[in-house]
Amino acid sequence: MRHGGLYGISCEGAGGIGRVKAMNKYQYPLSKASKFGWPGIRGYAFNSRENFSRASAALIEVTKRHGLVRSTVSDRIYLVLSGKGKFVIGKTTLSAKKDDVIIVPKNTNYDYSGRMKLFLVHSPAYDPANDVDIENLQRIKKKQKSL
């Protein structure tokens, strides 16, 4: 639930994620995008599932780690627009650089880090209810074991 509010994520602009206002159903300018982020991640959601349920798009500026997550519904496609970094998808570690496309299938744990600008497509459209924050679950399990 990274984009949803679990970590005090700021969602500004056109009403937060899920409420992105489109000029029309075909065009989503950056100036109208909904801002989101947390330390090391700054993002702009171009559209939401309310605008187009089959896909959503975002621009993401990365300066630290994203955090280990899994989407139970969406496949995710990242295009590295600039910079370089690392993706960990399942047990595979990939170096990523400008012009690379990284595909993350649904139900696959993944993380990324580095200094990159990414264009992301979720298919179907992003829904925070379908994201699993693996790191937070691991912290909770460790805490329960120590009690």
Q: How far apart are CA 129 and CA 144, in angstroms?
A: 24
Locus of tokens 């206002």? 21
**Could you tell me the pTM of the whole model?**
0.81
CATH 2.60.120.10 fits 30-146, yes or no: yes
Rounded alpha-carbon distances, angstroms, from residue 64 to 17, 53, 59, 61, 72: 22, 30, 15, 9, 24
What three-state secondary structure class fits 39? coil
Residue 23 has a pLDDT of 62
pLDDT along the chain (147 residues), means of 10: 38 45 79 93 94 95 96 98 98 98 98 98 95 79 60
Contact yes or no for 110/69 (Cβ under 8 A): yes
